[in-house]
């Protein structure tokens, strides 16, 4: 990567909208030790946004064609978030939410 590199870490909803054309990655924050921080020139700024809960989440038309059918069933932000957060609440709740979301 070049010295003037700009990296954007997209979220899972944008991945669904683009039919996996743009892929999100698991990301975690790790705070380096104090000595390493003092030598680093890296600057990271987090900005998070989310659509309204009733917003539909479906593949964007320009990301679908005969060779690239939709990979995900349409859903809403609310249903997607409920299923996503339920995964952290245990397998039974996650299975129930995933089924409600249409298996996505």
Q: 43-73 pLDDT, tens per residue?
A: 677 777 788 999 999 999 999 999 999 999 9
The pLDDT value given to residue 73: 94
pTM passes above 0.75: no
Which pair of structure tokens corresponds to residue 95? 């299975």
Q: Compute the distance between CA of residue 2 and CA of residue 12 in angstroms, rounded to an integer.
A: 26
Residue 8: pLDDT above 80? Answer: no
Residue with tokens 């996503």: 84
Tell me what the pLDDT averaged over the chain comes to: 81
């Amino acid at each position: 990567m070049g010295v003037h590199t700009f990296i954007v870490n997209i979220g899972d909803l944008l991945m669904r909208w683009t039919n996996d054309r743009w892929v999100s990655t698991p990301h975690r924050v790790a705070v380096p030790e104090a000595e390493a921080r003092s030598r680093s020139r890296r600057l990271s700024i987090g900005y998070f946004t989310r659509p309204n809960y009733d917003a539909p989440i479906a593949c964007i038309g320009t990301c679908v064609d005969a060779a690239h059918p939709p990979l995900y069933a349409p859903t809403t932000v609310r249903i997607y978030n409920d299923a996503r957060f339920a995964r952290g609440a245990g397998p039974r709740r996650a299975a129930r939410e995933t089924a409600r979301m249409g298996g996505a």
